[in-house]
A and B are shown apart, each in its own frame.
Chain A
């Protein structure tokens, strides 16, 4: 009996030890505590006009390598810049004073971090020093912002007229997609067919009659709404005194793909977090 009793007591003890070991493992190895382990560090002040989604304890990186973390983010009342204190490992104490601190985004959807690009000054940053040269967040967002803003399909209240445009590549543009000028929907794509002779895609755009003063040297471009949104035709007005009429053909066109190429760049560089600022 006592033999059996001690065996279950040992089993229960082992189980409890194993449970706590698993808890300790989860808490220290898979959580942010693992990043908090840091040697001696020194603090550097920076100021950003826009920190985007930067958070405390976000990494500070040089050449993509983590060298410290964001210690605090404060906004002084009356100022329109954020004071960001960076805590940098003492090991990396040869940062030139004219280095540039930039808020970067890891990949397309990743978290933001502060990247430091070395300057060329002889003096190095000391504890409590200031990185005066900063670049704020948002290169990617601003760029994407251009492509956002796709609205619904236009209501053809006042009737419409059609113009043709030839594209070498329409991407995934399909009939019914919106036609926009300055981001506002002014019509829709009536048909997309391949031209058997010119070997390009002939797109017929149906534009609301209200917009009858579009110069005839305007350019039509295939853009994408947002990142994974549908494609639409954007009309960029030209400067000609003559206007587009029903049945006219637009000469200047810009095919799809530039967003895809762009994203390609970001995805490739984002996966190793090295050159996320390339798109600037």
Chain B
């Protein structure tokens, strides 16, 4: 795509050009959605690849995040005699912040990199050009299914992550540190709100992060310089750009949704 267009000089101009090209690429992706319905099976395969295959890392990380959060909170709150509130704080911080953000960072590392590398290699080995020759739209067949899969998989992964984190918090808090089981759940249910915490926190944020991460991954793959070094660079850029975008977007979204 843009690899053959002349590159502007200067780091700032180049990054701006990247952002602009990424935005234009998003429009191409969205325009290709109706055409990509023909490749529904490919979308399902990508959901399996970026979603189901990421389950292990998401579940294990969620469990440990919940466990360590509970451990830390217990020690701080015991100073004030407020350990009974720790379950509630674990739930709130996971639903509102840690769940979407950590899931998105893991998703960028686990799924985003492989999307970039795969598409990048396709471009380096001229498979993308071959598709165009065969009158198969590479955006509708390669890019959009991966983008949609990220959009579908991220909120679901985030739900699994959050549930595992609550389970981990319960494991450490109730089973190990001896917080009362009833207090743990009743404090949590008293404060967690479906709209502000679960819909706005988990679902909306992770949907936005899923869109951003998969957009960046697909875009980097499509604009990879067709060399092995180019693929390596593109993969690195996917992780770096995704992480920055996730954390910056998280601040903006939190400010809006609060």
Contact = CB atoms under 8 A, between A and B. Distances in A.
Contacts of A11: 48, 52-53
A238 interface: no
Interface stretch (A19-27, A70-78, A193-201): A19-27
B51 A31 contact: no
Contact of A32 (B48, B84, B157, B190): B190
B140 interface: no
A35 B188 CA distance: 10
Interface in B168-216: 183, 185-186, 188-194, 197-198, 202-203
Given A15-B156, A19-B155, A35 B51 contact: no
Given A12-B44, A26-B163, A107-B82, A32 B192 contact: yes
B184 to A, nearest CB: 10
A31 B96 CA distance: 13
Determine chain A's interface SS by DSSP, over half rule: helix
Interface residues of B, number: 41
Contact of B198 (A12, A31, A34): A31
Of A5, A12, A108, the most chain B CB neighbours within 10 A belong to: A12
Contact of B41 (A5, A107, A267): A5
A215 B145 CA distance: 85
A74 to B, nearest CB: 21
Contact of A16 (B47, B49, B198): B47
A15 B47 contact: yes
Contacts of A14: 52
Interface in A211-234: 228
Interface in B44-61: 44-45, 47-49, 51-53, 55
B223 interface: no
Contacts of A19: 51, 153, 155-157, 159-160
Contacts of B188: 30
Nearest to A268: B81
Contact of B197 (A5, A8, A31, A110): A31
Given A12-B52, A15-B55, A19-B155, A59 B190 contact: yes
A12 B48 contact: yes
Interface string A233-257: 0000000000000000000000000
Contacts of B183: 271
B156 A22 contact: yes
Interface string B67-100: 0000000000000111011000001000100000
B246 interface: no
A179 B155 CA distance: 57
A31 B91 CA distance: 9
B194 A33 contact: yes
A32 B163 contact: no
A111 interface: yes
Contacts of A34: 185, 189
B82 A8 contact: no
A-B complex: 6 closest residue pairs judged by Cβ atoms: A19-B156, A15-B52, A12-B48, A22-B159, A22-B163, A8-B48
Interface of A: 5, 8-9, 11-12, 14-16, 18-20, 22-23, 25-27, 29-35, 59, 66, 107-111, 228, 267, 270-271
Given A108-B81, A110-B85, A271-B183, 11 more contacts: A8-B44, A15-B47, A15-B52, A26-B162, A30-B185, A31-B198, A32-B191, A32-B193, A34-B189, A107-B84, A228-B80
12 contacts: A9-B48, A15-B51, A19-B51, A19-B156, A25-B163, A26-B95, A31-B192, A33-B189, A66-B186, A108-B80, A109-B82, A267-B81
